[in-house]
Amino acid sequence: MTETLDIQITKTTHSRLQETDFDNLPFGKIFSDHMFVADYADGEWKNFQVIPYGEIGLSPAISALHYGQAFFEGIKAYKHADGKVVIFRPDKNAERFNKSAERLCMPTLPEDIFLQSLAAVVDIDRDWVPTQDNHALYIRPFMFATDPFLGVQPSATYKYMVLTCPVGPYFSKTLRVKIETNFTRAAEGGMGFAKAAGNYASSMLPGKTAVDEGFDQLIWTDARDHAYIEEMGAANAMFVLDGKLVTPSTQSTILKGVTRDTVIKLAQEWGVPVEERRVSVAEIVEGAKNGKLTDAFGAGTAATIAPVGSISYNGEEYFLIDPKEREFSQKVLKTLNDIKYGVIPDTHGWNFPVGE
Ligand code: PLP
Ligand code: COI
Q: Which ligand has the nearest atom to the CA of 261?
A: 1
Specify the number of domains making up the chain.
2
Atom of ligand 2 nearest to the CA of 138: 3
Domain-located, residue 356: no
Tell me the residue type at 289: K
Whichever domain contains 84, its CATH number is 3.30.470.10
* Together in a domain, 221 and 86: no
* Together in a domain, 29 and 82: yes
In short, whether 336's Cβ falls inside 6 Å of ligand 1 is no
Indicate if the pLDDT at residue 1 is higher than 60. Answer: no
Q: What pLDDT was estimated at residue 178?
A: 97
Domain-located, residue 204: yes
Distance of CA 41 to the CA centre of its chain: 28
* Together in a domain, 143 and 182: no
Q: What pLDDT was estimated at residue 99?
A: 98
- Over residues 60-72, the pLDDT tens digits come to 999 999 999 999 9
Domain-located, residue 1: no
Q: Which of 141, 168, 195 is the last residue of a domain?
A: 168
Please, which pLDDT band fits residue 47 given cuts at 50, 70 and 90? Answer: very high
Mutate to test the pocket of ligand 1, among 229, 301, 333 (most ligand atoms within 8 A of CB): 301
**What is the span of the domain harbouring residue 142?**
8-168
| Residue % of the chain over a pLDDT of 90 | 97
Q: What pLDDT was estimated at residue 49?
A: 98
* Together in a domain, 215 and 280: yes
> DSSP E strands: which ranges in 4-115?
8-9, 34-41, 44-52, 70-72, 75-79, 85-88
Q: What pLDDT was estimated at residue 3?
A: 80
- Over residues 196-224, the pLDDT tens digits come to 999 999 999 999 999 999 999 999 999 99
Q: What pLDDT was estimated at residue 259?
A: 98
Domain-located, residue 158: yes
Q: Tell me what the mean pLDDT of segment 95-120 comes to.
A: 98
Domain-located, residue 345: no
Neighbours of 154 (CB within 10 A): 14
* Together in a domain, 100 and 136: yes
Return all residues near 125 (Cβ < 8 A) that are at least 6 apart: 32, 33, 34, 137, 164
* Together in a domain, 137 and 183: no
Please, which pLDDT band fits residue 233 given cuts at 50, 70 and 90? Answer: confident
* Together in a domain, 331 and 211: yes
Q: What pLDDT was estimated at residue 330?
A: 96
Percentage helix, strand, coil for the chain under 3-state DSSP, each rounded to 5 = 25, 30, 45
Please, which pLDDT band fits residue 307 given cuts at 50, 70 and 90? Answer: very high
Q: Tell me what the mean pLDDT of segment 325-334 comes to.
A: 97
Q: Which of 120, 149, 168 is the last residue of a domain?
A: 168
* Together in a domain, 291 and 222: yes
d(CA 68, CA 191) in angstroms, rounded, equals 12
* Together in a domain, 210 and 331: yes
Domain-located, residue 347: no
d(CA 343, CA 336) in angstroms, rounded, equals 10
Average pLDDT, the chain: 97
Return all residues near 172 (Cβ < 8 A) that are at least 6 apart: none
Q: What pLDDT was estimated at residue 169?
A: 87
- Over residues 144-195, the pLDDT tens digits come to 999 999 999 999 999 999 999 999 989 989 999 999 999 999 999 999 999 9
Whichever domain contains 199, its CATH number is 3.20.10.10
Domain-located, residue 352: no
CA-nearest residue for atom 3, ligand 2, is: 74
Atom of ligand 2 nearest to the CA of 140: 3
Q: What are phi and psi of 176, to 5 degrees?
A: -105, 110
* Together in a domain, 326 and 257: yes
* Together in a domain, 15 and 162: yes
* Together in a domain, 150 and 260: no
- Over residues 124-140, the pLDDT tens digits come to 999 999 999 899 999 99
